[in-house]
Amino acid sequence: MALLTFLGATQQVTGSCYLIETHDKQKILLECGMQQGNDNNNSNGDNGQATNSSFRFNPEHIDAVVISHAHIDHSGMLPRLVAEGYRGPIYVTDATSELLEIMLLDAAHIQEKDTEWENRWRARKGKRPIAPLYVTADAERALKQRKAIDYHTSVEILKGVELKYYDAGHIIGSAIVELTFHEPNNSTRRLVFSGDLGNTCTPLMRTPEAVKQADVLLLESTYGDRNHRCTEDTLDEFAAILQKAHKEGGNVMIPAFSVGRTQDILFHLGRFYREGRLPQHVVYLDSPMAIRANAVYFRHHDKFDKENLAMLKEHNIESLEDWLPIIKQTPRPEDSMDINHTKSGAIIVAGSGMCNGGRIVHHFKHNLWRPECHLVFTGFQARGTTGRAIVDGVDSVKVLRDDIAVRAQVHTLGGFSAHAGQSQLLDWIRHFDNSPELYLIHGETDKMHVLQAKIKQELGWDAGIPELGDRIAI
């Protein structure tokens, strides 16, 4: 029988990674995510090395890698894996393959630049330099190992192991993973990994597909303790925040993940613009990665939700500028720095989504301390991130080694989440014809316990909560 070891996203929401060993000792790595966040309120100055520096296995011994989607907490360690000797295929969907080219090269660039900046500071302090987790050449090598397959296509990735993807509805190209293991006694065992399941209210994306058979099920639980507000209520609150910021004369900062959340936010802002509910005079998209990702989204528009796709076609929308004419995209650093001269009337959408880096932190230096400005969180903030510290109410945060007061008005809009809420998770697992052996992953412990109890109450199923390093039979 196959064995699975939990190596990441156990009782936390980042660093997704699971090692599978088949009956004949073949090894599959399911996900290769980067650990995001740390035990402090902000960067601990090690550029992420402390939590991402080593694997709990030998990359040279891995035979195949399977990735559910392109977000860095699911794919961000692929260049490191290749740098340490992995030479096999990396299985992805076609849209994920395109997004990985954007995200991994960007992540490598950030690693290089952040390390360069960090080492200049260390040199002044007489400290030893550090090395980046990986460099651009490592990302380029990883990208050469991509192997894209379509949804619903069964592919034998190793002898006796078949892979099939289903649409997870989370971001473009996101997938539910089904692995079928053919055992020597002619029996089969099926592992289903939910990946990140999409919020059914998310624009553009389709509802996560139902899967009906599994022997072992790994279920994400990011929002296992709550349901999201309905979309229209959230949009009304969002519109009210924008009106308030306009009246008070400040800017609006929206830290957003460059792939997924940014596209959702821009879709809603475009809708506000067309309905006359957008008082700001300019929307800055200050994320080179998001700008490139938008093009991928439009290339794969056939995978959009049918209703929203029909609306875009009705208005002959072929680009983001068609949908939101007041958008100003700022790919170059000097374009980004020019935003600092705008003191009011702007919406600034920038990464990173959890505020531990990216261009949003530079906008914090110019806006976070101003009480007339507004900071709108539209996504989950993991423990140990700057975003989580702000949501939890700290008075100041360290940004690029400077303490910045948090005086801007802070808002959290959970209805924008691209993750399924509790009832949506329950509805999805109800589709299984049997009662699979169920394990909760990709969530914080308290939220897992709430979902665990709810599953027991409503379905009568037991759900395990594994710890790092736990091993189970498939």
pLDDT per residue over 316-363, tens digit each?
A: 888 888 999 999 999 999 999 999 999 999 999 998 899 988 899 999
Burial label for 23, CB within 10 Å (0-12, 13-18, 19+), is: middle
Q: How far is CA 24 from CA 32, 158, 472, in A?
A: 22, 11, 16
Helices (H) and strands (E) in the chain, counts: 15, 22
Closest CA to 13 of 26, 31, 29, 40: 31
Lowest mean pLDDT, pick from 35-44, 79-88, 133-142, 295-304? 35-44
For 351-470, where are the E strands, in sequence order? 374-377, 396-399, 402-405, 409-412, 437-441, 463-464
Closest CA to 400 of 375, 370, 363, 372: 363
Residue 44's pLDDT is: 33
Q: Range(s) for CATH 3.40.50.10890 in the chain?
A: 231-416
- Taking the C-alpha atoms of residue 365 and residue 340, their distance in angstroms, rounded to an integer, is 9
Q: Mean of the per-residue pLDDT values for the chain? A: 93
User: Using an 8 Å Cβ cutoff, are 89 and 157 in contact?
Assistant: yes
- Taking the C-alpha atoms of residue 195 and residue 263, their distance in angstroms, rounded to an integer, is 20
Please check the confidence at residue 230 and state whether its pLDDT lies above 80: no
Residue labelled with tokens 């975003």: 387
- Taking the C-alpha atoms of residue 216 and residue 181, their distance in angstroms, rounded to an integer, is 12
**CA dihedral in degrees (90, 92, 94, 100; nearest 10)?**
-70
Region 420-430: mean pLDDT is: 97
Q: How far is CA 439 from CA 35, 101, 141, 220, in A?
A: 20, 31, 34, 9
DSSP states of 275-335:
HT----SEEEEE-HHHHHHHHHHHHTGGGS-HHHHHHHHHTT--SHHHH-TTEEE--SHHH
Helix, strand, coil fractions of the chain, as percent rounded to 5? 35, 20, 45
Please check the confidence at residue 41 and state whether its pLDDT lies above 50: no
Residue 37's pLDDT is: 65
Question: Which residue stretches of 47-166 are H helix?
Answer: 49-52, 72-75, 78-83, 94-125, 136-143
Cis peptide before 221 (omega within 30 of 0): no
Fold for 231-416, please state it. Answer: Rossmann fold (3.40.50)
Residue 257's pLDDT is: 87
Please check the confidence at residue 49 and state whether its pLDDT lies above 70: no
DSSP bridge partners of 283: 327, 347
Look up the pTM and report it: 0.89
- Taking the C-alpha atoms of residue 63 and residue 21, their distance in angstroms, rounded to an integer, is 10
Instruction: Please tell me the class of the 3-226+418-473 domain.
Output: alpha beta
Q: Range(s) for CATH 3.60.15.10 in the chain?
A: 3-226+418-473
